[in-house]
Amino acid sequence: MNSNTSSITKGQDTNDKEKRIVNGETGEMEEKLQNEEMLVEIEPKTGISFSIKLSDGKQLKAMGVRKKKLLGFSIRIYSFGIYADNQKLVGVMKSKIVESPTKTTKEMYRMVIDSAVGITVKMVIVFANLTMSMVRKNFNEGLAAAIRKLGGEKNEELMKRAYVYLYLGDDPLDKEAKEKFGMSLISLF
């Protein structure tokens, strides 16, 4: 059974006590923040910070922004961070893929959607006038569409798969976030 969760909070910018550092591991110029207790990564389009690692050990794999078109304008609804259990991801990927891939495939994303890899999505609302009922309505519409694409009736397992499909499926909420998640899959090999 998939173990997928989410948390929703109101947006907050990082505080002044944090110190900017560069990711020395990959040599990339990704902006990260370090305070006394934890490392965070900043979602560049909104400035929202996400912990690199959750208390349950899941690691941040990608960040993105859910946008909605309204009267021709693109409005940022919420920023999100996708977390996953590395050990479970490695197990699923290596059980079905023998050689190290050079690029992500639709099948790799499908393995994540269909497997119990412990995905958690943290959502931070960035649109000031947004209410929880508006988020719920928008989210339920997207979830219903994902369930139809996955071809099933509503049940707990399908709901979890549809939830992950919103972020990693054929028409993701943020394509850049899906691509970054895919790159994290390749790095597991």
128 — pLDDT class (breaks 50, 70, 90) = confident
The model's pTM is 0.71
* Residue 53 amino acid letter: K
pLDDT surpassing 60 at residue 39: yes
Domain count, the chain: 1
Instruction: State both tokens at 63.
Output: 């960040």
Cα–Cα distance between 3 and 161 in angstroms, integer? 10
| Residue 64: count of CB within 10 angstroms of its CB | 25
- Phi first, then psi, for residue 50 (nearest 5°) are -125, 135
Instruction: State both tokens at 11.
Output: 């947006």
* Selected residue with higher pLDDT from 18 and 150: 150
16 — pLDDT class (breaks 50, 70, 90) = very low
Q: What pLDDT score was predicted for residue 73?
A: 87
32 — pLDDT class (breaks 50, 70, 90) = very low
* Selected residue with higher pLDDT from 50 and 71: 50
Of the listed ranges 19-33, 61-75, 81-95, 150-164, the least confidently predicted one is 19-33
Radius of gyration of the chain (CA): 17
Residues 111-127 pLDDT 10s: 999 888 889 999 898 88
pLDDT surpassing 90 at residue 81: yes
CB 76 within 8 A of CB 65: yes
User: Coil, helix or strand for 129?
Assistant: coil
Range(s) of the domain holding residue 30: 5-186
25 — pLDDT class (breaks 50, 70, 90) = very low
CATH of the domain at 151: 3.50.70
Residues 27-45 have a mean pLDDT of 63
Q: In the chain, pLDDT over 70 holds for what percent of residues?
A: 79
pLDDT surpassing 90 at residue 28: no
